[in-house]
Amino acid sequence: MPIEVTLPRIDVDSTTGRIARWLAKDGAAVAKGEPLFEMESEKAAVEVESPAAGIIRDITTPAGDSAPIGSVVARIFLESEPYEAPKGEKNTAPAAPVADRPARAEPTVSSHPEARHPAPSGVTTIDTKPGEKPYRPRATPLARRLARQHNISLEHLTGSGPNGRIQRRDVLQATNGADRRLPPGAPIGALNATWLKTGEGTPFVLIHGFGSELGSWRPLIADDSLSRPVLALDLPGHGLSPLGAEASFPQLVESVETTLLQLGIESADLVGHSVGGAVAAALAASANLSARSLTLISSAGLGPEINGSFIEGISRASTEESLAAWLRLTVVQEERLNPAFVKAIIRRRRETDTQQAQQRLAAALFPDSTQSFSIRSELDRLSIPVKVIFGTEDRIIPAHHARGLPGTVAVHLFSNVGHMPHIEARRGVLQLLREIAYRKE
C-alpha cells in the first residue's frame, strides 16, 4: 500500500495551506526525511519531509495552489510496488514501470578534476552515472534554505553532521558567517534580523523572550492589520544569532542596539516579550535610539521573582517532548502552542550551539532563580507612551510586578491568560499596538 503524503498543520488556527514549491518531481525516487515541498500557511512556512523512502507519485496539488489541512497531496510507492495512474488523470511520471528501472548506483567519488565543474581546493566532488538521478547531498532543511539565500552549491560543501550531513554551520562557513539578512557590508557580529512586514512609517521592532526566537511573533502579525513595517530579530544565543564570548544583560542590549543602527533604524516603536521587554526598555532609555513608544509584554526586569525551574528546564530541553512540556507552563490555553514552532526550536538547537548559549545566559541573567537586572529606573525616566501587558495567570513572571509603576505607564491585564498574551490574547494585544500605529505624532 502506498503511503499518503498529507498537508500538515503547521499552526493552530489555519485550515488551509499553500504549497509554495515542490522540491521533488512526480516519479522521482525520494529518501525518508528528504524535503518534498515548501508549505506556507497564514502564519508559518516550513519544509515538509518525506514520511518514507520510495517513488513519489500522484502529486495532486501543484506549486502555488492551496489545499485543506490533512488533504492528500501525493503518495509514496515502494520501488518494487506496482503503480497504476488514477483513472481520469494523466500520469506525469516516466513511462517505464518502476520495477524495470535500473537500480540506483551509489555516488562514486571522482579522482578526475575534469569529471565535473571544478570544486574549491580540498572539496570532494561526486559523479553520477548516465541515466541516474542527480546526486542530492544530505543536508538539513535550514542548511538548504541558507544555501539558496546565498546561491551556494551544496555539492561543494563537506558536511560536519552525522553521516556527512551538511548543517547550518557548514553553509555559514562558506559565506564567512555572513548570514544576517542585513545590507551588504554589515559587520559579522550583527544579529539575525528579518522584516516580517514592509511598509512606510516608523517600524515596530519586536524582541522575543528567553528560549524563543523571532518566528514566535509571526502569529501576532499574521492578519496584516498593522499599518507599519515590522522588524523582528533573534537575541544573542537564540535562533540564528550567536552569543559571543560575553553572556550578560548589557551585552544583549548592546547587540540589539548595534544591529538596529547598522540597519539604519534610528527611531522605532519597541515591543518586547519577557527578557526582550527588559531589553526594549533599556533601548528606549538609550541616547542612541529614538523610541517612539514602548510596549512590554510579560516583561522581565520589574521584580526579582522568576520561575527558575522553567528557565533551567527550557534551556536544557533537547527533545520536542521535553520542550513542549515546559512551554505548557507559559499558557493557560495549551491548544495555542504551535507544534511546528516547538519542532523548529529543537531542530535549531541540534544544528547550532544555542542550547549551550542559553544555559550560559540563564546562569548570568537568573542566578538563584532571581532576575539580576531591573528596568524600573529606565521607566521612571521615559517620557514616551509606555504600555505594560500581563496575563493574570502568568506562571513564569508574576503579574503583580506591574504594580507600583509610574502613573504615566498604562497597565493592561488579561484574565485567563498566562505568560504569552501576544498568543493567547492576540486580538487584544493587536488592538493596543494599533493604537500606537495610528497615534498622531
From first to last of its 441 residues, the chain has per-residue pLDDT tens of: 788 999 887 665 667 888 888 988 888 888 887 889 888 765 556 778 888 889 999 999 998 888 888 899 999 998 778 887 766 544 443 333 333 333 333 333 333 333 333 333 333 333 434 444 445 677 765 677 667 767 777 877 877 665 677 876 677 777 654 433 333 333 334 789 989 988 888 999 999 999 999 989 998 988 777 888 999 999 999 988 988 888 999 999 999 998 998 888 888 999 999 999 999 999 999 878 889 999 999 999 999 999 999 999 999 999 999 999 999 999 998 888 888 888 888 888 888 888 999 999 999 999 999 999 999 999 999 999 999 999 999 999 999 999 999 999 999 999 999 999 999 999 999 999 999 888 765
8 A C-beta contact, residue 27 and residue 92? yes
8 A C-beta contact, residue 230 and residue 218? no
pLDDT at 298: 98
Q: Where are the domains of the chain?
A: 1-91, 139-179, 193-437
- Annotate the chain with three-state secondary structure: CCEEEECCCCCCCCCEEEEEEECCCCCCEECCCCEEEEEECCCCEEEEECCCCEEEECCCCCCCCEEECCCEEEEEECCCCCCCCCCCCCCCCCCCCHHHCCCCCCCEECCCHHHCCCCCCCCCCEECCCCCCCCCCCECHHHHHHHHHCCCCHHHCCCCCHHHCECHHHHHHHCCCCCCCCCCCCCCCCCCEEEEECCCCCCEEEECCCCCCHHHHCCCCCCCCCCCCEEEECCCCECCECCCCCCCHHHHHHHHHHHHHHCCCCEEEEEEECHHHHHHHHHHCCCCCEEEEEEEECCCCCCCECCHHHHHHHHHCCCHHHHHHHHHHHCCCHHHCCHHHHHHHHHHHHHCCHHHHHHHHHHHHCHHHECCCCCHHHHHHCCCCEEEEEECCCCCCCHHHHCCCCCCEEEEEECCCCCCHHHHCHHHHHHHHHHHHCCCC
Computed on alpha carbons and rounded to an integer, the radius of gyration of the chain in Å comes to 24
Among residues 347, 295, 294, the alpha carbon closest in space to that of 319 is found at 347
Q: How far apart are CA 435 and CA 420, in angstroms?
A: 20
8 A C-beta contact, residue 406 and residue 379? yes
Please state the length of the chain: 441
Instruction: For the sheet with 16-22, list strands across it.
Output: 45-49, 35-40, 16-22, 66-68
Q: What residues pair up with 347 in beta bridges, in sequence order?
A: none
- Whole-prediction pTM: 0.61
Tell me if the domain spanning 139-179 has CATH number 3.40.50.970: no
Q: For 193-437, which CATH superfamily applies?
A: Alpha/Beta hydrolase fold, catalytic domain (3.40.50.1820)
Phi, psi of 99 (to 5 degrees): -65, -25
Q: How far apart are CA 191 and CA 169, in angstroms?
A: 16
Pick the CATH number of 1-91 from 3.30.1490.190, 3.30.1010.10, 2.40.50.100, 3.30.9.40: 2.40.50.100
Residue carrying C-alpha cell 555572513: 178
